[in-house]
């Protein structure tokens, strides 16, 4: 018997070890940072970062990050590239914005042993092994083949952490430069293990875990420095550590936009030791905690990967700009302190107001609350609301970015149109913890800047049916806010303006159409499918045909009623006129719900989420040939061609739609319902702001064929409407769908 036990124990232990190693995957394990990093397909980057971190530590790749060589890597990184230019700390991915010449990040480190050429310090380019490249939430690793250096990166909110393993018997060196070709930085070496400097208005403190043996200045030639105790401006600095016996060099870099003292505090507070693995694990844990607030059940690994990676992408931007002590630079050129909240900046509301903030309101309302406090600060400190020409997209005319006096902007941001809709939606959902009266005058000013009072006499913006419609949404939101705080006259005024969209609707052709200031209808294309961007931004007359978010019933009536509206909307989808790759018609699949045909919303949303579909349109025109492909994929080319994620807008569209929820009009706290693509979705609601309970969405009998809702219950009671209020979700509960193969033409028509 003893011999038998002796043989059984190792086997039992092995089984137990295997069982332990086969733990179910966590939400963070589904994140693939390489999705949407290839070519013109989303423009994300596999950076080491934490949720909403100021630091996005990532390689800038060659040649994609230089527009002269491709104009693909808007984030600074292109998965197709096999060379890097350095590891930089400050990036902005997901959109077409940024420098038109060099899209690399700022404050870049290049590990090397020997300079490969005379031009190495002009534009350092190193080969790296794509097969050895890995990334996960909060971590990045690659192997620099020519130098035989292993590079690993992780991060905190304000710091980047580098770990470089050099080959034995070689000098261990670093090149520090701005990150941009031909850029410069000011730098002071305050000790053999500490360097401080600034690039633009981004201050940094870098610490090494071993002392620098020799420092050189690069200004076209390499100059060794005997003393380096004063600030010097140069194209780059070379640090030689000699031959390290343990072969590993660690570097910590603290970043701040308030000054060098802020960078010091950020580094000391967030990254005080030399525990690379500990910082990496904290970053991963932060991501997992956030992602775990939405639990998805399903057996399709690819869809789970797409879902959690999309959720992850919504938390890159905006970024926490305030230091660990709350200080941040205001638009008024003063330092301010965020008390009991983090100050966020770097917004693109024109894109992301539609999907991302409705997602935040359910998923991470405490972040949304901090954002509203940040927007309050921006409103109060603003010194200039004048529109500036949108030189990248001239047909749109103007973008609106809130600036300080004389155009001052202390931190990168994109555009602010519809900021007041983001504030309104937070307010009606109870996510503002300050009196709205304090920002109401600024919101009102924003609405009047976008559609000035001079247009009240004609009731539209001349030659811009698109903007007339857009700013009608904003005026509707202002009306709701005005009414709620007792400004009845303003309510009446803004409600009147919210209907200006009607004055650009040509009933003879049933399209929105440009008008001259004297009321004359302007030219209209013989073929309204043509995306010529005359009078409408980034879309055809078909795309802009559904441009009434705040009063869908009235829009339907303008078509001649539900039957006529459904006929046109079905034609739009059946003939591949919908563009999934841009924002203008993102809400269109959910309009079937409001026209009394929710089974068509279920059909088209699922197609867009899970099946290849025909796409005819890029951002500005037809594709040379129509594309037949999935819109969302779990590959480096994660989106359609020319489809930017635009600050997480498209990722959030996937998340909301895949859960079976979509808010057509932010400011109106109602979500349209459709069938989720997962058997079960569980939203763990915030304890401080909401009930702290969970809201469960369950799709019984869901399968590839059973995609149509047959019936539904909400908290055990029959539900025969295709919408649900924010309040119903926020108090927790259970929404159950019975799914079937055939459309049910009776459900959801209330």
* Three-state secondary-structure class, residue 341: coil
Beta bridge partners of 252: 161, 207
* Within a domain: 718: yes
Q: Let me know whether 267 and 345 are in one domain.
A: no
Q: Let me know whether 662 and 599 are in one domain.
A: yes
Q: Give the pLDDT confidence score for residue 16 in this predicted structure.
A: 43
Q: Give the pLDDT confidence score for residue 394 in this predicted structure.
A: 38
Q: Which of 291, 319, 350 is the last residue of a domain?
A: 291
Q: Let me know whether 266 and 331 are in one domain.
A: no
Q: Give the pLDDT confidence score for residue 13 in this predicted structure.
A: 43
pTM of the model: 0.94
Share of the chain above pLDDT 90, in %: 81
Q: Let me know whether 491 and 372 are in one domain.
A: yes
Number of domains in the chain: 2
Q: Which range, of 15-24, 242-251, 558-567, averages the lowest pLDDT? A: 15-24
* Within a domain: 407: yes
* Within a domain: 750: no
Q: Which of 246, 276, 291 is the last residue of a domain?
A: 291
pLDDT tens readout for residues 403-457: 888 888 888 777 788 999 999 999 999 999 999 999 999 999 999 988 999 999 9
Q: Which of 606, 652, 654, 683 lies closest to 297 in space, CA to CA?
A: 683
Output the six-digit token pair for 151: 């590079």
Q: Which of 562, 570, 586 lies closest to 653 in space, CA to CA?
A: 586
Q: Let me know whether 136 and 226 are in one domain.
A: yes
| pLDDT above 80: residue 552 | yes
Task: State how far the Cα of 152 lies from the Cα of 143, in Å rounded to an integer.
Answer: 9
Q: Let me know whether 287 and 301 are in one domain.
A: no
* Within a domain: 6: no
- Radius of gyration of the chain measured on its C-alpha atoms: 27
Domain of 709, in residue numbers: 294-740
Beta strand spans in 192-313 (E): 194-199, 202-208, 214-218, 222-225, 232-234, 236-240, 248-256, 294-297
Look-up of token digits 């997602």: 359
- Residue 7: pLDDT band (50, 70, 90) is very low
Q: Let me know whether 236 and 381 are in one domain.
A: no
Q: Look up the CATH number of the domain holding residue 556.
A: 3.30.2080.10
Q: Give the pLDDT confidence score for residue 10 in this predicted structure.
A: 42
- Residue 598: pLDDT band (50, 70, 90) is very high
Q: Let me know whether 257 and 337 are in one domain.
A: no
Average pLDDT over residues 686-691: 94
Q: Give the pLDDT confidence score for residue 309 in this predicted structure.
A: 98
Task: State how far the Cα of 44 lies from the Cα of 193, in Å rounded to an integer.
Answer: 33
Q: Which of 291, 324, 347 is the last residue of a domain?
A: 291
Quick one: CA dihedral 39, 41, 43, 47, positive or negative? negative
Residues with Cβ within 8 Å of 612's Cβ and at least 6 positions away in sequence, in order, are 628, 629, 630
Pairwise pLDDT comparison (175 vs 6), residue with the higher score: 175
* Within a domain: 20: no
Task: State how far the Cα of 446 lies from the Cα of 23, in Å rounded to an integer.
Answer: 52
Task: State how far the Cα of 524 lies from the Cα of 417, in Å rounded to an integer.
Answer: 27
* Within a domain: 19: no
| pLDDT above 80: residue 2 | no
Q: Which range, of 14-18, 136-140, 668-672, averages the lowest pLDDT? A: 14-18
Phi then psi dihedrals of residue 407, to 5 deg: 80, 15
- Contact criterion met (CB below 8 Å) for 161 and 271: yes
Q: Look up the CATH number of the domain holding residue 175.
A: 2.70.98.10
Q: Let me know whether 271 and 311 are in one domain.
A: no
pLDDT tens readout for residues 500-542: 999 999 999 999 999 999 999 999 999 999 988 899 999 999 9
Q: Give the pLDDT confidence score for residue 559 in this predicted structure.
A: 98
Q: Which of 557, 553, 573, 549 lies closest to 664 in space, CA to CA?
A: 549
Q: Let me know whether 470 and 340 are in one domain.
A: yes
Residues with Cβ within 8 Å of 549's Cβ and at least 6 positions away in sequence, in order, are 473, 587, 664, 665
* Within a domain: 522: yes
Q: Let me know whether 208 and 332 are in one domain.
A: no
Output the six-digit token pair for 365: 């309302």
pLDDT tens readout for residues 211-237: 999 999 988 888 888 766 667 788 999
Task: State how far the Cα of 313 lies from the Cα of 317, in Å rounded to an integer.
Answer: 8
* Within a domain: 8: no
Task: State how far the Cα of 472 lies from the Cα of 494, in Å rounded to an integer.
Answer: 9
DSSP 749: B
Distances (CA, A) of 211 to 193, 204, 234: 5, 18, 21
| pLDDT above 60: residue 56 | yes
Q: Let me know whether 129 and 217 are in one domain.
A: yes
Residues with Cβ within 8 Å of 73's Cβ and at least 6 positions away in sequence, in order, are 43, 60, 61, 64, 65, 81, 103
């Amino acid at each position: 018997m003893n011999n038998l036990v002796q043989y059984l124990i190792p086997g039992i232990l092995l089984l137990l070890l295997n069982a332990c190693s086969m733990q179910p995957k966590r939400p963070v394990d589904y994140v693939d940072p390489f999705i949407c990093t290839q070519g013109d397909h989303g423009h994300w980057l596999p950076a080491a970062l934490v949720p909403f971190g100021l630091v996005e530590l990532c390689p800038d790749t060659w040649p994609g990050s230089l527009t002269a060589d491709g104009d693909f890597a808007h984030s600074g990184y292109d998965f197709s590239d096999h060379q890097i230019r350095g590891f930089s700390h400050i990036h902005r991915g997901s959109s077409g914005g940024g420098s038109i010449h060099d899209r690399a990040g700022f404050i870049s480190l290049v590990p090397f042993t020997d300079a490969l050429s005379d031009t190495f310090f002009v534009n350092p380019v190193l080969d790296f092994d794509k097969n050895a490249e890995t990334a996960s939430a909060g971590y990045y690793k690659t192997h620099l083949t020519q130098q035989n250096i292993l590079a690993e990166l992780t991060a905190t909110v304000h710091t980047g952490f580098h770990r470089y393993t050099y080959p034995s018997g070689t000098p261990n060196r670093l090149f520090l430069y701005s990150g941009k070709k031909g850029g410069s930085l000011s730098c002071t070496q305050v000790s053999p293990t500490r360097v401080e400097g600034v690039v633009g208005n981004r201050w940094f403190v870098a610490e090494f875990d071993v002392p620098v043996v020799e420092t050189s200045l690069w200004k076209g030639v390499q100059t060794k420095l005997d003393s380096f105790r004063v600030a010097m401006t140069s194209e780059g600095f070379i640090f030689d550590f000699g031959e390290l016996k343990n072969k590993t060099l660690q570097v910590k870099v603290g970043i701040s936009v308030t000054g060098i003292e802020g960078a010091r505090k950020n580094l000391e507070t967030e990254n005080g030791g030399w525990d690379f693995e500990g910082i990496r694990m904290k970053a991963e844990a932060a991501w997992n905690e956030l992602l775990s607030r939405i639990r998805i059940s399903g057996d399709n690994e690819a869809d789970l990967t797409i879902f959690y990676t999309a959720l992850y992408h919504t938390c890159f931007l905006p970024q926490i700009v305030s230091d660990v002590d709350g200080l941040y630079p205001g638009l008024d050129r003063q330092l301010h302190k965020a008390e009991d909240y983090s100050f966020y900046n770097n917004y693109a509301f024109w894109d992301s107001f539609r999907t991302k903030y409705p997602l935040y309101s359910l998923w991470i309302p405490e972040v949304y609350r901090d954002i509203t406090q940040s927007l309050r600060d921006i409103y109060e400190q603003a010194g200039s609301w004048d529109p500036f020409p949108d030189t990248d997209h001239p047909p749109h005319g103007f973008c609106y970015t809130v600036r300080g006096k004389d155009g001052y902007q202390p931190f990168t941001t994109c555009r602010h149109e519809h900021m007041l809709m983001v504030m309104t939606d937070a307010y009606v959902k109870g996510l503002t913890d300050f009196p709205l009266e304090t920002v109401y005058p600024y919101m009102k000013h924003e609405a009047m800047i976008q559609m000035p009072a001079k247009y009240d006499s004609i009731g539209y913006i001349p030659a811009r049916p698109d903007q007339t419609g857009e700013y009608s949404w904003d005026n509707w939101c202002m009306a709701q806010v005005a009414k709620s705080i007792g400004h009845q006259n303003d309510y009446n005024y803004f409600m009147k303006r919210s209907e200006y969209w009607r004055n650009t609707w040509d009933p003879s052709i049933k399209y929105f159409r440009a008008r001259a200031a004297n009321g004359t209808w302007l030219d209209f294309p013989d073929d309204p499918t043509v995306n010529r961007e005359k009078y409408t931004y980034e879309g055809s007359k078909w795309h802009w045909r559904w441009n009434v978010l705040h009063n869908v019933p009235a829009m339907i009536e303008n078509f001649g009623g539900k039957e006529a509206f459904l006929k046109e909307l079905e034609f739009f989808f059946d003939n591949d006129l919908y563009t999934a790759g841009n924002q203008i018609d993102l809400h269109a699949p959910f309009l079937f719900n409001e026209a009394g045909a929710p089974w068509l919303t279920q059909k088209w949303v699922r197609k867009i989420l899970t099946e290849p579909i025909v796409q005819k349109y890029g951002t500005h025109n037809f594709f040379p040939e129509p594309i037949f492909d999935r819109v969302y994929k779990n590959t480096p080319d994660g989106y359609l061609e020319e489809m930017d994620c635009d600050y997480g807008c498209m990722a959030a569209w996937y998340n909301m739609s895949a859960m079976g929820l979509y808010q057509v009009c932010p400011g109106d706290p109602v979500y349209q319902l459709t069938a989720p693509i997962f058997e079960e979705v569980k939203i763990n609601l915030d304890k401080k702001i909401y009930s702290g309970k969970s809201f469960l969405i369950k799709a019984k009998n869901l399968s590839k064929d059973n995609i149509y809702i047959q019936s539904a219950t909400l908290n055990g009671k029959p539900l025969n409407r295709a919408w649900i209020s924010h309040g119903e979700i926020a108090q927790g509960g259970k929404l159950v769908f019975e799914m079937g193969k055939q459309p049910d033409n009776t459900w959801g028509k209330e």
